[in-house]
Amino acid sequence: MRWILLVCLSLSLSLPARAELDYRLEPRQIAEDTWLLEGGTENFSRDNGGNIVNTGFIVTEAGVLVIDTGPSKRYGQALREAIAGTTGKPVIQVLLTHHHPDHVLGNQAFADVPIGALAGTTELLRQQGDAMAENLYRLVGDWMRGTEVVLPNRTLEPGVLEIGGHRLRLLALAGHTGADLAIFDERTGVLFAGDLVFYQRALTTPNSPGLPVWLKDLDRLQALPWRLVVPGHGPVASSAVPFAQMRDYLGWLHQLLSDGAARGDDMAELIRAPIPARFAAISLTRYELIRSVSHLYPSYERKQMQRIDQP
């Protein structure tokens, strides 16, 4: 009898924790017709359920356009509820900025509408989606329950998308993952930069084709006549400070890896490199440096190697 009581007690104690898996999303209007759901700048955890990402939506005359769907089915459902609490207009389309799990695993909640992405994004999600979802489940636990990968069903091309009185300029870039969509609303001046821009949070590099590519993408984005920039992670900004911070960090990281390869340093030496004081306030800088060294350093080392059959 005692063990039965203990089991019942343990089950009763676990129920509130499960019931508290609520993202409590609160849309904030940042421009005309434009709403942001801002995530934290910390790492994935069972406390935040993976809500470390910025998602958004634009309420147009034709209906609601959603930008990224979040890290889980539960998040996508909460996002859809938040939209319904903001406007009576239906969701008519989703645009995905790239394939990383915190941006796309809420797709299940939007399976009844067109989900658009660059062709490269769809292919990367096809290749990596299941593994990324499994890894995220290990990191955040039951927040991911029931989440499955839903691929985009519409291929986006760079150019202009006219929708409900909003003229959206779609840019196909590559620096973060090799297939990165940025969305510029010419009506409001809001630039949804996706993970091409991190602000006050160290950038991630698992699929980057190279830091020089990323730097060129930043030049293209900053040249747009934007009024607000929405990073993939971090606070919205009305100044060019996020671009300056990104360039500074990318430049430092590129130089660190280049110099290390030239000296013949190993990875262990580089991950212990001092973090410049100007980056001290940026969240997760050491953690992401360790990851970036593992992602990128082999390519820097290969560039330093000379074939022995060539002079």
Residues 34-57: pLDDT tens digits? Answer: 999 999 999 999 999 999 999 999
Both tokens of 252, joined, read 């430092």
Half-sphere exposure of 292 (CA within 13 A, CB side): 27
State the pTM of this model.
Answer: 0.92
DSSP secondary-structure letter at 283? B
Determine phi and psi for 184, rounding to 5 degrees.
Answer: -115, 120
Band (87; pLDDT cuts 50, 70, 90): very high
The reported pLDDT for the residue numbered 247 is: 98
Of the candidates 175, 258, 177, 261, the one whose C-alpha atom is nearest the C-alpha of residue 211 is 175
Q: Which residues contact 87 (CB under 8 A, 6 or more apart)?
A: 59, 64
Band (311; pLDDT cuts 50, 70, 90): low
Q: Does 4 score more than 70 pLDDT?
A: no
Measured between alpha carbons, how far is 295 from 212 in angstroms, rounded to an integer? 15
Measured between alpha carbons, how far is 244 from 259 in angstroms, rounded to an integer? 22
Q: Tell me, letter by letter, the H, E, C secondary structure of 94-151.
A: EECCCCCHHHHCCHHHHCCCCEEEEHHHHHHHHHHHHHHHHHHHHHHHHHHCCCCCCC
Band (310; pLDDT cuts 50, 70, 90): low
List pLDDT tens digits, range 277-288.
999 999 999 999
Q: Which residues contact 263 (CB under 8 A, 6 or more apart)?
A: none
- Yes or no: say if 107 and 115 are a contact pair by the CB < 8 Å rule: yes
The reported pLDDT for the residue numbered 258 is: 97
Taken in order of first residue, the domains within the chain and their CATH numbers are: 22-239 (3.60.15.10)
Band (9; pLDDT cuts 50, 70, 90): very low
Considering the chain, what percentage of its residues have pLDDT values greater than 70? 92
Q: Does 3 score more than 70 pLDDT?
A: no
The reported pLDDT for the residue numbered 255 is: 98
Residue 307 one-letter amino acid: R
The reported pLDDT for the residue numbered 306 is: 64
Q: Which residues of 168-191 are buried (b: 16+ CB within 10 A; e: fewer)?
A: bebbbbbbbbbbbbbbbbeebbbb
Band (7; pLDDT cuts 50, 70, 90): very low
The reported pLDDT for the residue numbered 182 is: 99
Measured between alpha carbons, how far is 147 from 109 in angstroms, rounded to an integer? 10
The reported pLDDT for the residue numbered 20 is: 77
Which own/partner pairs from 269-277 qualify as long-range (CB within 8 Å, at least 24 positions apart)? 270/297, 276/252
The reported pLDDT for the residue numbered 109 is: 98
> Looking at residues 53-77, what average pLDDT do you find?
98
Q: Where are the beta strands (DSSP E) in the chain?
A: 28-31, 34-37, 55-59, 64-67, 91-95, 115-118, 154-156, 159-163, 166-173, 180-185, 190-198, 228-233
Among the residue ranges 7-11, 36-40, 55-59, 139-143, the one predicted with the least confidence is: 7-11
The reported pLDDT for the residue numbered 16 is: 37
